[in-house]
A and B are shown apart, each in its own frame.
Chain A
Amino acid sequence: MLTQALFRALDKKAIWVIGIFLAVAILVPMANLLIPPGQFGHVPTYLVSLLGKYLSYAILALALDLVWGYCGILSLGHSAFFALGGYAMGMYLMRQIGSRGVYGNPTLPDFMVFLNWKELPWYWLGFDNFWFAMAMVVVVPGLLAFIFGFFAFRSRVTGVYLSIITQAMTFALLLAFFRNDMGFGGNNGLTDFKDILGAPVQAQSTRVILFAATAIALALSVLVCSMIVNSKLGKVMVAVRDAESRTRFIGYRVEYVKLFAFTVSAIMAGIAGALYVPQVGIINPGEFEPGNSIEVVIWTAVGGRGTLIGPIIGAIVVNLGKSWFTSALPEFWLFALGALFIFVTLFLPKGIVGLWKQVFGAGRQTAEPTPPTPARSADIERGEDPSTFDNPQPRPAE
């Protein structure tokens, strides 16, 4: 059963993508460790961490694509799941500091000592254990998405309304995590990390391993997504995206399909956040910023939604652009990003991957039909079959 699903997942495209990132997981560390600095081909350690950051963004973009590109759920709150995964990792890293903090308290992180707290809050218990923390990286975002999605999809909240409440969710978390008495370090967040699994976070070898772990996680994410989208469930997801009510009338529980996609996607986003935090060295409430979620949407749109490689390309390309822009012309970055989004929406509705197919795939019979959901206004009104009587009130779920 599982082997068949795995076999289906490994189509030609997926093998390529997975192979590329497994190769990257080996080659980049080798270029860093084996080629001496100054010589051609050497990848400096700061660049390894920067690339690792991009790859964790790529996992996040892939996660969003699974719900948006394949299932038609435009989530504007994915940075919340990313940040929660990041906080779970950050809490583990804080507990590893031990008595090396400024105040030298063996159990309490510095900010708690500063706030005059006497003991660790209950929700910090267990985070000194790496595997418990890793479980929380998966459980916390997954559970939030499951509960949130359960109520939202059951009540048939779709289109912009869903986008708005996901945005509200991440904003609410932003405000909550800013508060000092939440116990997550307030607006400073969690930082000043020392060790991960006993190895110093700043060390070259640790950074290289973190990079390799991120590249492997990305390859595994592609495998999981490929398994889902190539299964019958994946086809049903696309059916939900294109004709939601029709899918209901052939007997699928659309709310469960969406809930599955949303929860899996949130878990992937959480893992991406957990890999991001040790590589950048800080997690603070700014990661919940609604604008961050919108940036993820832009990466996905630029790369090409509804494909597995598109969001990865989009995340890397846009962030390379961002790195260049924010050092060369910092004040123009947001304008450039906005212009990019408008350009892609108007002229490249299928993103870079769509352009590639147009240019290079014309000879072969790859002409896919334009799905009835262009990147534009289709997300506003979807799901209702135009041929049936437009029921003025949304039907209660029960």
Chain B
Amino acid sequence: MSKAQDTMLYLDGVSVAFDGFKAINNLSIIVRPTEMLAIIGPNGAGKTTMMDIITGKTRPDAGEVMFDGRTDLTKLDEATIANLGIGRKFQKPTVFESHTIWDNLEMALKKPRGIFNALFYTASDDDIARITDILDTVRLLHRKDEFAANLSHGQKQWLEIGMLLAQDPKLLLVDEPVAGMTDSETEETAKLLREIAKTRSVVVVEHDMSFVRELGSRVVCLAEGAVLAEGTLDQVSANPVVIERYLGR
């Protein structure tokens, strides 16, 4: 327990198997408060499964998953974990397509999530200012009344990042945020994530090496459900095992 102190996310010896296939095998990762961590690794390395475990979608067979040094996440469900302050962006951008961009953010905004709170909710001036602010950050202010379905792939990614911000989480799990983005958009995203990481912990899963370089964060390389190498991007990409198993292929 004491080892988890002063960490935002603490995974120790986590394993999960699906029909005998070990998707995660004795995985241990630590993320500190206001730290950014980039996770790279080949397909099937268990990156998404790891996020499923942290967010309560999948229960680990063994191991410890602690949030904020004290909360055991393995006993909680998705909604509880989300309300504790863990936000997740999916690999395939998932926004609510039949709602407007504004409504997407309004739903995500950190507010009591009860049924009757939602039924009688009216946006306060503060809420409106906050949503406007976020829309400005993710550059969608001019399209706020359009349906989310009309956004391009890259814009949906940004809207989803905006929804994450609206949730005001302590820890952000961001799965492939720059897939489908142009180079300049990718650059902007890196800048935005670095900005976010000043006040929150961020875990980014990404394949795009130049993007990971721009993040300038600590890097963990996963393979077959376990940590293969850890360090700066240069250290990790110079690691012969990483080259053999991931980069060199």
- A residues bordering B, Cβ < 8 Å? 1-2, 4-5, 8, 227-228, 231-233, 235-236, 238-239, 242-243, 245-246, 248-254, 256-257, 260, 368-372, 385-389, 391-392, 395
Contact = CB atoms under 8 A, between A and B. Distances in A.
A249 B54 CA distance: 11
27 contacts: A5-B119, A228-B119, A231-B120, A232-B118, A239-B96, A243-B94, A246-B90, A248-B82, A249-B55, A249-B78, A249-B82, A250-B87, A250-B107, A251-B167, A252-B113, A369-B149, A385-B90, A387-B48, A387-B90, A387-B92, A388-B48, A388-B52, A389-B23, A389-B48, A391-B18, A391-B52, A395-B58
Nearest to B106: A232
B2 interface: no
Given A238-B99, A253-B113, A248 B79 contact: yes
Contacts of B119: 5, 227-228, 231-233
Contact of A246 (B52, B94, B121): B94
A369 B150 contact: yes
Considering residues B49, B103, B106, B115, which has the most beta carbons from chain A within 10 angstroms of its beta carbon?
B115
Considering residues A2, A245, A252, which has the most beta carbons from chain B within 10 angstroms of its beta carbon?
A252
A73 B69 CA distance: 39
Contacts of B106: 232, 235
Contacts of A389: 18, 23, 48-49, 52, 58
Interface string B79-118: 1001100011011101011110001001110000111001
Given A249-B82, A250-B82, A387-B90, A243 B96 contact: yes
B184 interface: no
B57 interface: yes
Contacts of B91: 387-388
Contacts of A392: 18-19
Contacts of B99: 235, 238-239
Contacts of B150: 369
Contacts of A254: 79
A256 B78 contact: no
A238 B96 contact: yes
A371 B149 CA distance: 8
A143 B71 CA distance: 36
Interface residues of B, number: 44
Nearest to A260: B115
B52 A251 contact: no
A251 B19 CA distance: 29
Contacts of A239: 96, 99, 107
Contact of B98 (A8, A260, A369): A369
Nearest to A306: B98
A250 B108 contact: yes
Interface string B164-187: 000100000001000000000000
Contacts of B82: 248-251
Contacts of B59: 395
B104 to A, nearest CB: 9
Given A248-B78, A256-B115, A392-B19, A386 B92 contact: yes
A254 B77 CA distance: 11
A5 B120 contact: yes
Given A238-B98, A246-B96, A260-B115, A4 B88 contact: no
A388 B82 CA distance: 16
Considering residues A236, A238, A254, which has the most beta carbons from chain B within 10 angstroms of its beta carbon?
A236
Interface in B29-88: 48-49, 51-52, 55, 57-59, 77-79, 82-83, 87-88
Contacts of B246: none
A257 B115 contact: yes
B159 interface: no
Contacts of B163: 250
Contacts of B92: 385-387
A260 B113 CA distance: 14
A251 B79 contact: yes
B127 to A, nearest CB: 11
B138 to A, nearest CB: 16
A89 B103 CA distance: 42
Contacts of A369: 97-98, 147, 149-150
Interface in B112-141: 113-115, 118-122
Interface in B15-30: 18-19, 23
A197 to B, nearest CB: 33
Nearest to B147: A369
Given A8-B122, A235-B106, A372-B98, 17 more contacts: A1-B120, A2-B120, A4-B122, A232-B119, A233-B121, A235-B96, A254-B79, A256-B114, A260-B115, A369-B147, A372-B97, A387-B92, A387-B94, A388-B52, A389-B18, A389-B52, A389-B58
Contacts of A243: 94, 96
A207 to B, nearest CB: 37
Contacts of B87: 249-250
Contacts of B118: 231-233, 236, 252
Contacts of A246: 90, 94, 96
B97 A236 contact: no
Contacts of A368: 98, 147
Given A1-B120, A233-B118, A251-B113, A245 B57 contact: yes
